[in-house]
Amino acid sequence: MSSKGSIKKIRVNLKHAPYTIYIGKDIFKKIPSYLNKLKLGNFGIVITSPKIYSLYRKAIQSNFGSKNFKIIKVADGEIAKSQNWLFKVIDGIIRSDDYKCRPFIVCLGGGTIGDLGGFVAAIYKRGIPYIQVPTTLLAQIDSSIGGKTAIDLPAAKNILGAFYQPKAVFIDPAFLSTLPLAQFKEGLAEVIKYGVIKDAVFFRFLKANHRKIFMSDSSCILKILSTCTKIKAKIVEEDERETKSLRTILNFGHTFAHALESSLKYRKISHGQAVSLGMIYAGKLSLLRRKCSKKALVELIDTLKLFSLPISITFDLAKTYKSLIHDKKFISGKIRMVLLRKIGKVEVSEDIRPHDLKRTFKLLKPSLH
């Protein structure tokens, strides 16, 4: 990582598609000059949402108001990752595309816009360049990095997608000033996850600074952004397409989280809340398998509590178990899960049996604590 002035640069060293993540307050204003250097094309399609556009209209117009750009506003939230919006965006691009045009995409928004815009970039004319300009904490530390792009179909979330890397990622913490607290906490669950899977020192930094973090202390936020993006960049570098089970560790807490979200039909509980509970589930399973100490599990639960993330829930055991089993690939009666060894270290286990999963469910009832 290098740092020039107040801009931090993190390189994602992928053999065929290396790129840089730029982090810095007000970097958004500097994007036009970076675009001049990056030479991605002569026509920028900016994909954003009415909410982000209304909050940042002046800055967006100042960057992308010229005839060399077209701004396309898609619906706010997960609905943007639909077949309907995919084709609306593609229609919008086709209408402005002529033989002289070399289009590229600017994804300006949360993870939903990043996933949709990245997927459009991956499939339009067999691939056009794109950049990520994430505006939620979750998108800044997670979804904008790594090239996983996708939309949802009624059958399943993220079922239609591609690995397709951006040409650059611009992370401006200034966007977080308008982010609602609930949305900020969505990102925090994943921030804590990074500490748990890879960096005990960072985990303890979060614990010690939880008050400052909630007050959006700028040096804490910058530390969070640079640490998490570095961890994600490194994992993606080593296992771009999740073929070596390294990228799998990012799924810590997600097996149970996805089962819970799906059994509750993606209502009642947010992804971040489900990840918080999922990390506790994975921790309890790890303790059951004697992979981690009780102390590590208690430290994890106490930290989630500090960030007012949920640590208990009443849920339908049978339904959640059914969706967990339904989601997972069993190989010789066993499934793969990410287990906790200690704070800062996890391992991928290939031999989790339904029996272990059921016993852990029982440990969670009636509350997770």
Q: Select from 279, 298, 262, 274 the least CA-distant residue to 340.
A: 279
Could you give the count of Cα atoms lying within 13 Å of 53 in the half-sphere of its Cβ? 17
Stretch that binds ligand NAD, among 61-69, 88-96, 143-151, 309-317 (CB under 6 A): 143-151
Q: Tell which residue, 161, 163, 113, 119, has the closest CA to residue 139.
A: 113
User: If binding is defined by CB under 6 A, does position 261 make contact with ligand NAD?
Assistant: no
**Stretch in the footprint of ligand NAD (CB under 6 A) among 132-140, 219-227, 288-296, 307-315:** 132-140
- 3-class secondary-structure state, position 307: coil
Q: Would you give the end-to-end CA distance of the chain in angstroms?
A: 39
Contact pick of 22, 60, 142, 315 for ligand NAD (by CB under 6 A): 142
Instruction: Look up tokens 């065929």; give the residue.
Output: 16
CB of 75 to ligand NAD, least distance (A): 10
- Shortest gap between Cβ of 358 and ligand NAD (angstroms)? 28
Contact region with ligand NAD (CB under 6 A), list: 46-54, 196-204, 314-322, 349-357: 46-54
Of 174-182, 198-206, 311-319, 332-340, the window that binds ligand NAD (rule: CB under 6 A) is 174-182
**Nearest-approach distance from CB 359 to ligand NAD, in angstroms:** 29
Choice between 38 and 55, CB closer to ligand NAD: 55
Stretch that binds ligand NAD, among 36-44, 134-142, 210-218, 278-286 (CB under 6 A): 134-142
What residue type is 168 in one-letter code? A
258 binds ligand NAD, rule: CB under 6 A: no
For residue 366, is the peptide bond before it cis, meaning its omega torsion is within 30 degrees of 0?
A: yes
Contact at 8 Å (CB) between 45 and 92? yes
**Closer to ligand NAD by Cβ: residue 183 or 303:** 183
Near ligand NAD by CB under 6 A: residue from 48, 49, 226, 262: 49
240 binds ligand NAD (CB under 6 A): no
The whole-angstrom separation of Cα 167 and Cα 185 is 28
- Long-range CB pairs of 199-205 (<8 Å, 24+ gap) are 199/227, 199/231, 199/344, 200/342, 200/343, 200/344, 200/345, 201/344, 202/227, 203/303, 203/343, 203/344, 204/343
Q: Is 194 in the site for ligand NAD (CB under 6 A)?
A: no
Tell me if 229 contacts ligand NAD by CB under 6 A: no
Say which residues have a Cβ less than 8 Å from residue 326's Cβ, sequence separation at least 6: none
Segment contacting ligand NAD by CB under 6 A, of 4-12, 164-172, 173-181, 275-283: 173-181
Size of residue set near ligand NAD by CB under 6 A: 28
Integer Cα distance of 270 and 352 in angstroms:
26
The C-alpha atoms of residue 141 and residue 257 are separated, in whole angstroms, by 19
278 counts as binding ligand NAD under rule CB under 6 A = no
CB 73 within 8 A of CB 53: yes
- Of the candidates 167, 174, 160, 156, the one whose C-alpha atom is nearest the C-alpha of residue 107 is 167
For residue 25, the 8-state DSSP code is T
In angstroms, what is the minimal distance from the CB of 93 to ligand NAD? 20
Shortest CB 334 distance to ligand NAD, Å: 26
Q: For residues 61-120, which are near ligand NAD according to CB under 6 A? A: 76-78, 81, 109-113, 115
Closest distance to ligand NAD from the beta carbon of 13 (Å): 18
Please give the residue ranges that form the binding site for ligand NAD (CB under 6 A): 49, 51-52, 55, 76-78, 81, 109-113, 115, 135-136, 138-139, 142-143, 146, 148, 158, 175, 178-179, 183, 186
